[in-house]
Amino acid sequence: MDPRIDPEIAAALERMPEGPLEIEGMRRTHLEATRIVSGDGPPVARAEDLAIPGPAGEIPGCLYVPSEEGPPPPLVVYLHGGGWAVGSKASFDPLCRTLALAAEAAILYVEYRLAPEDPFPAAVTDAWAAVVWAAEHAEELGCAPGRLAVAGDSAGGSLAAAVTRRAREAGGPQLAAQLLVYPAIDPRMDSGSYREYGAGFALEAEAMAWYWESYLGDADPEDPDAAPARLTDLSELPPAIIILAELDPLHDEGARYAHGLEDARVPVLRIVVPGAVHGFWRFLAVSERARETVAEAGRLLGETLAA
């Protein structure tokens, strides 16, 4: 294990299960890892399963409400990571609970369709449908209308970035913030961080290439809905909170996106987490650094929504 990796994160990586390199096995392994790195998550006032109307039928969702007291909370649509191919409510439940409490916001988890069974643009269209539905039903969900954000990690960060562009182009819904955690936004995979951290740092470049191939299928890799790094106009997008892991192949593309937003005069709050690798965001049961990062991201998200 590389000595630059935070000791608690390194110890957790040593305990991670290894699964077969086929999709169902990968999904089982991802869920098994949750029990090791995420734990059960804290209690919230309400965790309510929902069915969101989508372009191909109902999209499963879950609303995490931190408290039933006080004024209606803001609403954050959360799009999970997992290379657009793995991840589920069970594997992100602890994270959603923790983020809801940290941000003092309701979190709407979205179970979008996964590749390779449903390649691009299925996940983007599901994410967009969920954001539009959330905006239209915020008050019905017990949340504050007009205080809506979108968030996501890795593949979910890509979806969140794509949704912000769609909202701008469509003239709404109005988004108050975007939280992008080590977003996967550039299928070129040719950055310096890929060369330096593409082997031996949790996320292997070889695995990421498989995820991109499975997700894109026959789609145009220049499509900004698939690869938000291709966006040439980042103006008038919502204020961004961008979390990057220091030792992550995806570090440089996230940093470039943050710079692009800043150049377009979009407010950006950026955190680079030292000693962290891709995936650490879920390591809430085993890493103080992960707990501190989620708490800080939630605080910043809550403050942005309040403003």
DSSP readout, 276-287? EETTGGG-TTT-
Q: Cβ-count burial of 37 within 10 angstroms (0-12 exposed, 13-18 middle, 19+ buried)?
A: buried
- 38, 80, 126, 154: the catalytic one is 154
Pairing of strands 57-65, 75-79: unpaired
Percent helix, percent strand, percent coil in the chain, to nearest 5? 40, 20, 40
Rounded Cα–Cα distance for residues 304 and 286 (Å): 28
Q: Residue 127, Cβ neighbours under 10 Å: how many?
A: 28
Nearest to 119 by CA among 223, 25, 18, 257: 223
Judge whether 278 counts as a catalytic residue.
yes
Judge whether 259 counts as a catalytic residue.
no
Q: Which residues contact 107 (CB under 8 A, 6 or more apart)?
A: 63, 64, 76, 78, 96, 99, 100, 151
* Most distant pair of Cα atoms in the chain: their distance: 50
Bridge partners of 148, per DSSP, are 75
- Measure Cα distances from 195 to 5, 34, 247, 252 in Å: 17, 28, 11, 11
Bridge partners of 152, per DSSP, are 79, 180
- 248, 251, 252, 287: the catalytic one is 248
Query: At residue 153, what are phi and psi to the nearest 5 degrees?
Result: -115, 140
Q: ∠111-174-58 over CA atoms, to 5°?
A: 25
Q: Are 75 and 149 in contact (CB under 8 A)?
A: yes
- Catalytic residue ranges: 154, 248, 278
